[in-house]
Amino acid sequence: MDVVLPGEIARFKVWPAGKHRSPCYWMVRVFKTRGHMRRAFHKLDISHDKDDRFAAIVMPQERQKLVRGRWRSASPNLGYVLFARTYVCAEVLCHESVHMATNYLRRIGKLRLHQKHDKGEETLAYHTGWCGRQLNNGFHKFKCWREI
């Protein structure tokens, strides 16, 4: 959806494995207020969820097509990540980055986390860092940081 939604102040893409290494991306949208963001959530949400207790949200959405008898991803877009500018801070960015990275790793079939530190956990840490860095760069570029 390329339409600018009411209250939307910024939009940018985040590639979970880095721009030149990732086949997929998240579309990040930032809104003036929590109310604007929640209205956008209800407009974009394909699950028709009625829960409004969030200040940011990762919304995985995958369009698929049938290729030689198997369902395959039809779009590199992983879904939407919505933020209310009034809640943008490092804590929220890190939290949403974990959701972005785990959903990406599930999509490509590489999420293998165990109780102890292992290769899967290290992969999660790297992808979280890449998502967090790109979110940080995007929020700075569009001056969306909340004043503290």
* pLDDT tens digit sequence for 77-112: 889 999 999 999 888 898 899 889 888 888 888 876
Alpha helix locations (H) across 26-107? 34-44, 90-107
Percent of the chain with pLDDT over 90: 29
Q: What is the pTM of this model?
A: 0.76
Q: Closest Cα to residue 139, out of 80, 88, 77, 79?
A: 88
Residue 143: Cβ-neighbour burial (10 angstroms; 0-12, 13-18, 19+): exposed
Q: Where are the domains of the chain?
A: 8-141
- CA dist 57 and 74 (Å) reads 23
CB-based contact 53:111 (threshold 8 Å): no
* pLDDT attached to residue 19: 79
Cβ atoms < 10 Å from Cβ of 52:
10
Predicted pLDDT at 7: 96
